[in-house]
Amino acid sequence: MIILGLNAYHGDASAAIIVDGKLIAAAEEERFNRIKHCAGLPVEAVKYCLKEAGVSIKDVDYIAIPRSAKARFLKKLYYGIKIPRLALRRLHALGKTRNIKKTVAGIFNLNDKEIKAELVNIEHHKAHLASSFFVSPFERASLFSADGLGDFASTMWGWGEGNKMKIAGDISFPHSLGLYYTAITQYLGFCSFGDEYKVMGLAAYGTPEYKDEFEKILKYSGGMKFELGLQYFLHHKKLVDMNFLAGYPALDILFSEYLEKRLGPARKKDEPVEEKHKNIAASLQSRIEEIIFSLLNELYRQNNLDTLCLSGGVAFNCVANGKIYARTPFKNIYIPPAPGDAGLAIGAAYYLWHEILEKPRDFVMDHAFWGPAYDADTMSAELQSRCDELNQQGCKVTEIRNDEELYKITAQAIADGKIVGWFQGRTEWGPRALGNRSIVVDPRRAEMKDILNNRIKRREPFRPFAPSILEEKTGDYFEQTHPSPFMLFTYKVKPDKEKLIPAPTHIDGTGRLQTVSKHANSRYWNLIKEFENITGVPVVLNTSFNENEPIVNTPKEALDCFLRTRMDVLALGAYVIERQDKIK
């Protein structure tokens, strides 16, 4: 049986395909059309998934969509009457979703009647919960999902056992942890879709000076309940435009004039980041952590399960995630590599497979490599077509016949202080580069953070880079040892190790680490192991292979990025491309 899951007409459009319960492929549309967080229909992602599975759209049995018109219908009706433009916008989006089978058929020059697939709608947060629990290694677990908004809910919780989930409760519009964080992110001058992670990094530079005010902005109501101080927000009063129908997703301002009255004028995008802004970011982060831990402790009290599956956009808050072990009774936590809206494609498919079709579980997502891979012939052809360009930039191309030699050459380049692009295997699923589409540098060199920003990344100086560490060495460098394979936990670096890995250690002595196992990614593990053999340090600094764009997907995009930036070395499969002139 073949199920195609689609997150369509929503931010982070994506597709995933499962065959007889096994995930075959998953990809975000942005990797193909090069528009970050793109919305609309994931046309190229669908084509890729079908190709990877070796099937046609005619072979698909079900198309699972993470949107349900029936969920919270009365609340939708109430706000539709209150804000008519909101009703029109939702009806338009719903119409496109209902016609999705016909639209997909058109992509392949077919009539919709030629497609046998049945369209199944899954409620947004149920798909989120499924995207975590049904691919986790846990037989039983507590479940928690929180984001901005989906099907008029922002939060949902319960527990799972085997192939079933029990939904215990939810919090609906207008109260939302995700909208809370987004609104303050906008107030701080970061208004692009998905900018919340920037403010999370900024928070480490401040102190929660505005704690009292933030207790009014986000209020804990006891049990599994929280509320927003709605006078600080706009989304419940008027249509806050969330344009997810095509292209780059747009989001109007969420905070009110009352917030500015209480905290002062909002920072404009090009204004300097001052101490006040750092302290507001710290207050924002501190308050959401307090609420998250209160909710999770209550969830544990209700079901007494010490395993936890997290999902929803709030699960990207790796600073909060890293504290859950210390602040709650949970002993094991699973967060999938794409806990946000892209992950809904997988969640909808697995909810259908297990909850509706009642199929047993026999799949665990223990790695993130579900996107396209490219063979040696494709890479060779791309290099051949770029010979003149490579020669003009003084690049030497060497084909490495032996994997061990590749690891040694590349690890030595990293140890020598060079910036290395590492392009291997299948593209990662989710927003993190996890060792297949990564830029890798020496973590021992404190100056590497500035060098990366000056040469390639050109991003805000308060944003940290990530350490990738051999999984078995985690306890040697960090105060916690729980695996973090998808770079979704932040842990304290041991004080005596900070001086060994200063480049990826944040100002507060933490690192948003990726633990690398030989089982999940042997090539990346071997690269780090060879770096350890050379330097004695089992850690590299890992950042995404891109330059203010979606992470590179193809060999062409990798070469484009290498040639237009001041990168030193590119390991493109078995080919090593190196600039002969030293870059300053």
User: And the tokens for 384?
Assistant: 């051949």
- Determine, yes or no, domain membership for 490: yes
Does residue 73 sit within a domain?
yes
Asked whether 349 and 4 are in contact (CB, 8 A), the reply is yes
> Which CATH number is 433's domain given?
3.90.870.20
Contacts of 91 (CB under 8 A, 6+ apart): none
**Residue 477 to residues 446, 482, 496, 497, 528, Cα–Cα distance (Å):** 17, 12, 8, 6, 15
Of 126, 161, 192, which residue is a domain's last?
126
**pLDDT score of 85:** 64
| CB-facing half-sphere around the CA of 72: CA atoms within 13 A | 22
SS3 category, 392:
helix
The per-residue pLDDT for range 334-344, each reduced to its tens digit, is 999 999 999 99
DSSP state of 28: E
- The beta strands (E) that lie in 412-475 are given as 420-423, 437-441, 466-470
Q: What is the DSSP string of 56-110?
A: -GGG--EEEES--SSTTHHHHHHHHHHSHHHHHHHHHHHHHHHTHHHHHHHHTT-
Q: What is the pLDDT of residue 428?
A: 98
Q: CA 173 to CA 286: how far, in whole Å? A: 23
Q: Position of tokens 């599994």?
A: 224
- Residue 309 falls within a domain, yes or no? no
CATH code, domain with 108: 3.30.420
H helices present in 150-271, as ranges: 177-187, 196-203, 211-217, 257-263
Closest CA to 484 of 336, 294, 262: 336
Q: Is the pLDDT of residue 508 over 60?
A: yes
**335 beta partners:** none
The residues with which 467 forms a beta bridge, in sequence order, are 541
Domain containing residue 395: 376-579
CA angle, 416 then 461 then 552, to 5°? 65
- pLDDT given at position 280: 98
Amino acid 581: pLDDT: 76
* Buried b / exposed e along 149-176 (16+ C-beta atoms within 10 A): bbbbbbbbbbbbeebebeeeebbbbbbb
Lowest mean pLDDT among 66-75, 281-290, 330-339: 66-75
Would residue 343 count as lying in a domain?
A: no
pLDDT (tens digit per residue) in 312-321: 999 999 999 9
On whether residue 229 sits in a domain, the answer given is no
pLDDT tens digits, 341-382: 999 999 999 999 999 999 999 999 999 999 999 999 999 999
- Asked if residue 261 belongs to a domain, the reply is no
Domain boundary among 126, 147, 165: 126
Residue 89 belongs to a domain = yes
Q: CA 516 to CA 434: how far, in whole Å? A: 9
Number of domains in the chain: 2
- Per-residue pLDDT at 574 exceeds 90: yes
Other C-beta atoms closer than 10 Å to the C-beta of 452 total 20
- Give domain status of residue 466, yes or no: yes
Cβ 505 vs Cβ 383: under 8 Å:
no
DSSP states of 247-281: BS-EE---B-HHHHHHH-SPPPTTS---HHHHHHH
Domain boundary at 126, 159, 176, which? Answer: 126
pLDDT of residue 300 exceeding 90, the answer is: yes
Contacts of 270 (CB under 8 A, 6+ apart): none
- Residue 97 confidence (pLDDT): 72
Mean of all residue pLDDT scores within the chain: 94
Number of residues that this document lists for the chain: 584
